[in-house]
Structure 1
Amino acid sequence: MIDPASALAFLALSLVIIVVPGPGVLFVVGRALVLGTRGALISVLGNAAGVAVQIVVVAAGLGVVIARSEVLFTAMKIGGALVLVWLGIQSIRHRNAISADEASAVSGRTRTLVRDSVIVGLTNAKTIVFFVAALPQAANPSIGSPTVQMLMLGAAFLVIGIACDSLWAIAAGSARDWFATNAARIAVVRAGGGAALVALGLGMGLSAGL
């Protein structure tokens, strides 16, 4: 059971957090520009899986430990930054590697795409801070288990996040598809997507004190 007023307040705040472009949205757009819509949608699901782990951690009471530990929190941010920079560099390096059947190429890399996206979602400092601050406040111990309530609210956050991120993925992927009709143009788009990932990673690294 969830308190309706608290749930609505949490969902409204979640919508604001999700709709305002942040690391997750920029990551998805960057992947869409590099890989196309299919690859971006796979990245959306992988990113959501990483965020789901954060929700479970917070619901279990460990999120506060991470958020309050300067060493752990910084390590998480640096880890995410390094992954983004690496993905961006790889995209720039292979910007001219256009497959004759790109959908098949993405399908063959699904495991890698999911793995990378899970890491990005798991190390998203913005969401872990939000969950630590908002989830416990939205749970009402007097009407049921706070852990169950936080997991249910977290699941609602994921549904909204997947829906919004998927729209970004489809929009960016559709724009990329037009550029894909020309080899030179798509190489530039891929390089641009890679540069966006590198910039996002560097920004996260600087915020972590690198």
Structure 2
Amino acid sequence: MTPALELLAFAGVMALGQFSPGPDMILLTRTALKLGARAGVEMALGIACGLTFHSVIAVAGVALALERSAVLRVALHWLAAAYLAWLAIGIGREIFRKEESQETVVADTSRGPFVRGLLCNLLNPKAAIFLAAVSAPFLKGARPDWWPVTICGIVVVQGCVLWSLWAVLLQWGPLRIAYGKSVKWIDGAFAVVLIGLALRLVWG
């Protein structure tokens, strides 16, 4: 696979991950639906700033471990594969659960959308773990110096652009209905991709 195709594949995986329901996505969606596109875009920018911190920590740590130690490299691959598989299994259970749980997100009106989005992302430790696990398959092997920076850039820029676009598109009524009907399909596609990445880490 060429570097361009690898980066495109990584961007696709991250897009699925960002649009799979989670704390950031739930808060952003509800804010955009309730307060409008402007508040949604502000929150998307806050989340993207949080992603900057998480992606640098995650990708830098993964890259360093892969370069310095063969033992750490193998251990990280197995841990990352296990985490990805665990995420996929959890998503599968949610898809086939008969009664969907309702997650409550309390809006903190004392802070603006940007700050709430930033705090929501920064205070979610799973963000860094997820980014490290998803990045690991794409950091294997000899890479140029610009590669980890590009991976981080894709995470941040894509998150900012896609979530801002999502906040704007949520103002269109038919899209709200379509999204509600396709949530399980989005989760299913994401679970399959996670399993594929886990297998690549272990046997790739």
Shorter-chain TM range is: 0.5 to 0.7
Partners of 1:81 and 1:204 within 8 A in 2: yes
Larger radius of gyration, structure 1 or 2? 1
- TM-score calculated relative to the size of structure 1: 0.55
Distance 1:25 1:157 in 2: 13
The yes-or-no answer on 1:121 pairing with 2:131 is yes
Distance 1:208 1:156 in 2: 22
Amino acid at match of 2:61: V
The yes-or-no answer on 1:170 pairing with 2:164 is yes
Alpha-carbon distance change, 169 to 85 in structure 1, aligned in 2, over 3 angstroms: farther
The yes-or-no answer on 1:131 pairing with 2:139 is yes
- Aligned-residue Cα RMSD (Å) equals 4.4
Amino acid at match of 1:121: L
Residue segments in structure 2 that go unaligned for 5+ positions in a row: 30-39, 200-204
Counterparts of residues 136-175 of structure 1 (less than 5 Å):
138=144, 150=145, 154-175=148-169
Partners of 2:108 and 2:116 within 8 A in 1: no
1:26 to 4, 16, 32: 16
Deviation at 1:204, TM superposition (A): 1.9
Distance 1:73 1:122 in 2: 10
Distance 1:64 1:33 in 2: 36
Residue segments in structure 1 that go unaligned for 5+ positions in a row: 1-11, 139-149
Alpha-carbon distance change, 85 to 175 in structure 1, aligned in 2, over 3 angstroms: farther
* Residues 162-206 of structure 1, C-alpha deviations (whole Å, 9 max, x = no match): 223322222233223434997xx3xx7357446523541354236
Deviation at 1:23, TM superposition (A): 2.0
Counterparts of residues 68-147 of structure 1 (less than 5 Å):
69=74, 72-83=76-87, 86=90, 89=94, 93-94=101-102, 107=116, 110=120, 114-124=124-134, 127-135=135-143, 138=144
Deviation at 1:26, TM superposition (A): 0.8
* Residues 122-178 of structure 1, C-alpha deviations (whole Å, 9 max, x = no match): 111xx323323243xx2xxxxxxxxxxx4x653354234422332222223322343
Amino acid at match of 1:133: G
Amino acid at match of 1:54: V
